[in-house]
Amino acid sequence: MPRHPNQPLLLTPGPVSVSRTTREAMMTDRPAGDVEFQEDLSFARRYLVSLVGGGEAYTAIPLPGSATYANEGVIASLVPDGGKLLLHSNGVYGDRLVEICTHLRVEHSVVRTPPFTPPSAELFEQMLRADPGITHVMLVHCETSTGVLNPLEGVAALCRAYSKGLLVDAVASFGAIPLDARRLGFQAVTLSSNKCMQGVPGVGWAVVHRQALENAKGQCRSLALDLWDHNQHMDRTGGFRFTPPTHVVAAFAQACREHAAEGGAHARLARYSGNWQRLVDGMRQMGFTAVVPDRFASPIVATFREPTHPAFSFQALFDGMKQRGFIIFPGRLALADTFRIGCMGDVTEHDIGEALQAVAETLAAMGVTQFGRDEVALIDRQ
């Protein structure tokens, strides 16, 4: 996975570092009707459907923008007038789904659990039993603001049992954690062109069941986010309805080829899991405590508590890491006095080892000596 020697490594929840060859795919300007562009777009659509085993029953629809555009497009398109969406939140991105529903005036109810704690399937079942008006359920698979992996399998089983439409925000998991459309039976799953697919940011994707999409014809609350309209136009013309992000699509097609060459989602999960284990073990050895218990943690990003040592400053840690070629991210979205280090993107265990060395050097430069060793892993290994 070649990388430009002067390119800093992003160890963040997104954007993530991408390969040199993916960046180079953007170096050619293409018109919207270019044959190569249309071939890249068609390949990417087919590849995403193949990753979930969707066959002819599913289609992949790109929307220019971040993955939030895809989430809003799914909600605006698939939850009908008179429908009701059951949401779960244990972090920032669950709350964002609530915010989307509020702006779209989509009726919804919310299951909340504490940050760093996934919900039980029983909580969803209680809500479904209490409110037969619920037509759809939406779950954030991996809550990126903390790194918690939420229980998709159990929620999917409930949706099948209660005949509810399942919508999945897989923005931080798609491409690394395998998803089987036949087993899960979701109506739609959303993803980013970046994150675990390792393309550049700029396109949000929705992989949608064709029958659910056909049932949604004419009901979208938005022109630009109408998934049915985008899909029929793309199927008919081979291109976007509106001006396409041609450079981003070229990079994404290259990223899909590299994803396949690596061995698909299972291989990428193995690499990320190795990154995560090396990171968490190394940080614990230095005295840091991971916030999310291991049994709930995804291999996507790890959240750590800041040391209480008087010489410690997150800004100094950030600056020191940046000077040494690594970018990390504050974790205060979900909990004060925490920070996050990502494990996804064009990153290897060797990179993580160098990042750990950079952490140690930065701590030494701050004058932060041993800290927290008596408390290490009392919480994070529960």
DSSP per residue, 217-252 = TT--S-STT-HHHHHHHHHHHSS-SS---HHHHHHH
Q: What is the pLDDT of residue 157?
A: 97
pLDDT tens-digit readout, 58-102: 999 999 999 999 999 999 999 999 999 999 999 999 999 999 999
Burial label for 139, CB within 10 Å (0-12, 13-18, 19+), is buried
- Grade residue 7 by pLDDT with cuts at 50, 70 and 90: confident
- Grade residue 378 by pLDDT with cuts at 50, 70 and 90: very low
Q: Give the Cα separation of 124 and 350 in Å (integer).
A: 41
11 has a pLDDT exceeding 80: yes
- What average pLDDT does range 231-238 have in this prediction? 96
- Grade residue 381 by pLDDT with cuts at 50, 70 and 90: very low
186: left (phi over 0), alpha (psi -120 to 50) or beta: beta
For 338, the enclosing helix (H) or strand (E) is strand 338-342
Domains of the chain: 20-262 (3.40.640.10), 264-366 (3.90.1150.10)
Q: Give the Cα separation of 288 and 130 in Å (integer).
A: 43
Q: Give the Cα separation of 206 and 192 in Å (integer).
A: 9
pLDDT tens-digit readout, 246-301: 999 999 999 999 999 999 999 999 999 999 999 999 999 999 999 999 999 999 99
Q: What is the pLDDT of residue 116?
A: 83
pLDDT tens-digit readout, 174-218: 999 999 999 999 999 999 999 999 999 999 999 999 999 999 999
377 has a pLDDT exceeding 50: no
> How many CA atoms, within 13 angstroms, populate the side-chain half-sphere of residue 374?
0
Token pair 């004060």 is found at 336
- Per the DSSP assignment, residues forming a β-bridge with 11 are none
- What average pLDDT does range 348-376 have in this prediction? 85
374 has a pLDDT exceeding 90: no
- Grade residue 134 by pLDDT with cuts at 50, 70 and 90: very high
Select from 276, 66, 50 the least CA-distant residue to 169: 66
**Which tokens in the block code for residue 28?**
């050619």
Q: What is the pLDDT of residue 334?
A: 63
- Grade residue 54 by pLDDT with cuts at 50, 70 and 90: very high
Nearest 10 degrees: CA dihedral of 237, 238, 243, 248? 180
Checking DSSP bridges between strand 188-192 and strand 9-10, what pairing results, if any?
unpaired
Token pair 């950079």 is found at 358
Q: What is the pLDDT of residue 369?
A: 79
> How many CA atoms, within 13 angstroms, populate the side-chain half-sphere of residue 371?
17
